[in-house]
Structure 1
């Protein structure tokens, strides 16, 4: 277990570095898949999320929204290179994301999804050279999949192109989602247009899934 955690933390560090590269390569004003956000907005969000976890509730609670917006604007004012460097340095010691293990559970999905938010918005194809990321995401789908599909109310099974299957939400007549783990993750996080996933199964299940709200 210790060795597995070490490998996962190394994967998180590599994904952070790769995301930093993609943010800088795209440029501050480049689009992302996050509606209304350019690359600088996304980079500022990543820094505030790790350095000001006390403001996380501002996403849903209006009394804290102003504080969250001001903290994000302050990061934006630093400019993209400085913001990316702050993100590259990792969470500060007081951040919960600095706790060993929390960075895996709390950061891996965030980094992968936002990395693809940047890449796909620039017209880049799925990555084929990150097997460690695919394996890590596949493992986490078994943990987070049921929650991501809760509001959809549709039983679902994930199938990798090379054969492995995983039940994401139990129930009769499940929809069958076939794709690489990162593509499945993008779909479950609401990036339908970008995710390269085949949706199959009973027609009624597919219809319900296609109408369902996905994401957080």
Structure 2
């Protein structure tokens, strides 16, 4: 089995090593060190992952993430590179692929596309297919706050009706699966997608808070 999630993890870590700890990312308020700390917490600190959903624990989570982020940067990136520990189900290849492909693809692009000289990558067809399958599984959740209907057209992969219209009509999003994933997870400013529909409907979608949060 080709492990696309693992490949994205390793490429992200290579970029984190190359750029250093203080480069910008597309995640508001996060430098490269903060993004790396987030990934370590996600796989190795379930207490802090749970705390992230409890408002009164937000301060503790922020302090712990800050402490991790400002530790030894090379060791931090190496911890991300090694992946989840054996006790975490995400250490198993099939679970890793299911749970981490979009996570590491999006965060890799968060680092890449925050740099002034970024260019879109030519991704393998198999990876585009996996991203399309992942997008279809999550699109109704990531687009749930949109007031418009959503139809996704993945170039070379078909179409998917992600949401029925609410207060507005339907907007058609067209692009490669990779670019559609980035748009669906809130990276609208850098996602190279085409938007079709009424201007007011497109404006409403552009203002919507997308993603899993």
TM-score, structure 1 length as denominator? 0.88
Q: Counterparts of 1:102 and 1:163 in 2: how far apart (Å)?
A: 24
Match of 2:133 among 132, 136, 139: 139
Separation (CA, whole Å) in 2 of partners of 1:129 and 1:181:
10
Q: Which runs of 5+ in 1 are unaligned?
A: 1-5
Residue 171 of structure 1: CA displacement? 4.6
5+ long unaligned stretches in structure 2:
none
Distance 1:40 1:152 in 2: 32
Residue 81 of structure 1: aligned partner: 74
Q: Tell me whether 1:183 sits opposite 2:182 in the alignment.
A: no
Moved over 4 A (4+): none
Give the drift of 1:92: 0.5
Match of 1:59 in 2: 52
Mapping 1:163-174, distance limit 5 Å: 164-171=158-165, 173-174=169-170
- How far does the alpha carbon of each residue in 1:26-66 deviate from its partner, in whole angstroms, 9 at most, with x for none? 21110000111100111111111100122113323233224
How many residue pairs are counted as aligned between the two chains? 209
1:151 aligns with 145
In the alignment, the residues of structure 1 paired with residue 130 and residue 37 of structure 2 have an alpha-carbon distance, to the nearest angstrom, of 25
1:27 pairs with 2:20: yes
Tell which deviates more after alignment, 44-53 or 152-161.
152-161
Counterpart of 1:94 in structure 2 is 87
CA distance in 2, matches of 1:13, 1:208: 36
1:71 shift after superposition:
2.9
2: CA distance between counterparts of 1:132 and 1:79?
Answer: 36
TM-score by length of 2: 0.89
- 2:106 corresponds in structure 1 to 113
